Structure 1
Amino acid sequence: MSEGSLDAPVRYAIDWNDPDFYDFDKINAELERVFDICHGCRRCFNLCESFPILFDLIDDSESGELDTVDVADYKPVVDACTLCDMCFMVTCPYVPPHEFNLDFPHLMLRYRAAELKAGKADRALIELTKTDRNGKLAGMMPGVANWASETGNNLTRPLLEKTMGVDRQAALPKFHGKTFALRAKSDGVTPNKDAPGYGRKVALYATCFVNYNNPVIGEAARAVLAHNGVETEVVYPSCCGMPQFEQGDIAKVAETAKQVSTEMAVWIDKGYDIVALTPSCALMLKFEWPLILPEDESVKKLSAATSDITEYVVDIAKKEGLADGLEPLDGGVALHMACHARAQNMGAKAAEMLRFVPEADIKVIERCSGHGGSWGVMKGNFEKAIKVGRNAARQSASSGKTYIASECPLAGTHILQGIERLKMEDKPQIEESQHPIELMAKAYGL
Structure 2
Amino acid sequence: MLCSICSCSKKSKHILLFPRWQNQSRSRWLVEKRHELLSEKCLYSNKSKSADKKFRYPIPWTDPAFYNKNSLERETRRVFDVCNGCRLCYSLCDSFPNLFDLVDGSKTEDVDSLSTTDFSKVVNSCTLCDMCYINKCPYTPPHPLNIDFPKLMLRHKSVETSGKHDVVKLDRFGIDRKLASVQESTGSKFGSDSTHRSATGVSNVDTMSKQSIFTKLMSKNYLHSLYTNMDLMGTIATSSRFMTNLVNWITQTTDPPSFARIILSKFAHIHERAKLPVYVSREETFVRSWKRLNQLPNKKAKAFATKKRITIYATCSVNFNKPHIGEAAHAVLLHNGIEPHVEYNRCCSMPQFEAGKLVRVAQVAIDLAERLCMYIKQGHDIVVLTPSCLLMMKQEWPLLIPNNENIHILSKNCYDLTEYMVKLKKEIGIVPIPELDTTVSLHHACHSRSQNVGFKALELLKMIPKLKIATIERCSGHGGSFGVQKKGFEIANKVGKNVFKQTLENIERCTTDEHFISSECPLSVEHIEQGVTDLAKQAGKILDRAKIQTKHPIEILARAYRLC
Query: TM-score surpassing 0.5?
Result: yes
The aligned residue for residue 550 of structure 2 is: 433
Match of 1:34, SS? Answer: helix
> Matches of 2:470 and 2:65 in 1, distance apart?
47
Match of 1:370, SS? Answer: coil
The aligned residue for residue 394 of structure 1 is: 501
The aligned residue for residue 136 of structure 1 is: 235
Match of 1:133, SS? Answer: helix
Query: How many angstroms does 1:425 deviate by?
Result: 5.8
Matched, 1:192 2:237: no
Which among 70, 88, 96 is matched to residue 115 of structure 2?
A: 70
Are residues 49 and 188 of structure 1, via their aligned partners in 2, closer, same or farther at CA, if it must alter by over 3 Å? same
The aligned residue for residue 287 of structure 1 is: 395
Match of 2:363, SS? Answer: helix
Are residues 78 and 175 of structure 1, via their aligned partners in 2, closer, same or farther at CA, if it must alter by over 3 Å? same
The aligned residue for residue 327 of structure 1 is: 434
1:247-286 aligned within 5 A: 247-286=355-394
Query: How many angstroms does 1:28 deviate by?
Result: 1.1
1:116 alignment partner AA? T
Give the length in aligned residue pairs: 445
Match of 1:362, SS? Answer: strand
Deviations 1:346-398 (A, max 9, x none): 00000010000012311110111010000010012111111110001111110
The aligned residue for residue 182 of structure 1 is: 288
Match of 1:421, SS? Answer: helix
Matched, 1:403 2:516: yes
> Matches of 2:366 and 2:58 in 1, distance apart?
16
Query: How many angstroms does 1:47 deviate by?
Result: 0.8
Deviations 1:62-104 (A, max 9, x none): 1111121112100110011001110011111111111111111
Are residues 410 and 429 of structure 1, via their aligned partners in 2, closer, same or farther at CA, if it must alter by over 3 Å? farther
Deviations 1:5-35 (A, max 9, x none): 4574311111110001111111111110111
Query: How many angstroms does 1:432 deviate by?
Result: 4.3
> Matches of 2:543 and 2:402 in 1, distance apart?
47
> Matches of 2:152 and 2:222 in 1, distance apart?
21
**Kept in 2: contact 1:237–1:259 (CA 8 A):** no
> Matches of 1:188 and 1:321 in 2, distance apart?
22
> Matches of 1:428 and 1:85 in 2, distance apart?
34
**Kept in 1: contact 2:438–2:468 (CA 8 A):** yes
The aligned residue for residue 417 of structure 1 is: 530
The aligned residue for residue 338 of structure 1 is: 445
Higher mean C-alpha displacement, 203-212 vs 117-126: 117-126
Q: What stretches of structure 1 move > 6 A for 4+ residues in a row?
A: none
1:35-434 aligned within 5 A: 35-117=80-162, 122-140=221-239, 141-152=243-254, 154-177=258-281, 178=283, 179-198=285-304, 199-324=307-432, 326-400=433-507, 401=510, 402-422=515-535, 423-424=538-539, 426=541, 428-430=543-545, 432-434=549-551
> Matches of 2:271 and 2:380 in 1, distance apart?
42
Are residues 427 and 107 of structure 1, via their aligned partners in 2, closer, same or farther at CA, if it must alter by over 3 Å? farther
> Matches of 1:427 and 1:366 in 2, distance apart?
26
Deviations 1:168-223 (A, max 9, x none): 00000000113100112222332211112222211000001001010011001111
**Kept in 1: contact 2:234–2:279 (CA 8 A):** yes
**Kept in 1: contact 2:438–2:467 (CA 8 A):** no
Higher mean C-alpha displacement, 96-105 vs 184-193: 184-193
Deviations 1:126-167 (A, max 9, x none): 112100000010112211111111111512100111111000
Are residues 298 and 72 of structure 1, via their aligned partners in 2, closer, same or farther at CA, if it must alter by over 3 Å? same
**Kept in 1: contact 2:139–2:145 (CA 8 A):** yes
> Matches of 1:236 and 1:429 in 2, distance apart?
37
**Kept in 2: contact 1:409–1:433 (CA 8 A):** no
1:253 alignment partner AA? V
Query: How many angstroms does 1:330 deviate by?
Result: 2.8
> Matches of 1:311 and 1:429 in 2, distance apart?
33
Matched, 1:20 2:65: yes
Match of 2:303, SS? Answer: coil
Higher mean C-alpha displacement, 226-235 vs 111-120: 111-120
Greater RCO, CA 8 A, separation 6+: 1
**Kept in 2: contact 1:419–1:427 (CA 8 A):** no
> Matches of 1:203 and 1:405 in 2, distance apart?
24
Larger radius of gyration: 2
Match of 1:185, SS? Answer: helix
> Matches of 1:73 and 1:340 in 2, distance apart?
28
2:534 alignment partner AA? R
Match of 1:183, SS? Answer: helix
**Kept in 2: contact 1:338–1:407 (CA 8 A):** yes
**Kept in 1: contact 2:348–2:392 (CA 8 A):** yes
The aligned residue for residue 199 of structure 2 is: none
The answer for unaligned runs of 5 or more in structure 2 is 1-38, 165-188, 190-219
> Matches of 2:539 and 2:454 in 1, distance apart?
32
The aligned residue for residue 174 of structure 2 is: none
> Matches of 2:373 and 2:324 in 1, distance apart?
26
Match of 1:80, SS? Answer: coil
Match of 1:405, SS? Answer: strand
TM-score (norm. length: structure 1): 0.97
1:437 alignment partner AA? I
The answer for unaligned runs of 5 or more in structure 1 is none
Query: How many angstroms does 1:327 deviate by?
Result: 2.7
> Matches of 1:425 and 1:363 in 2, distance apart?
24
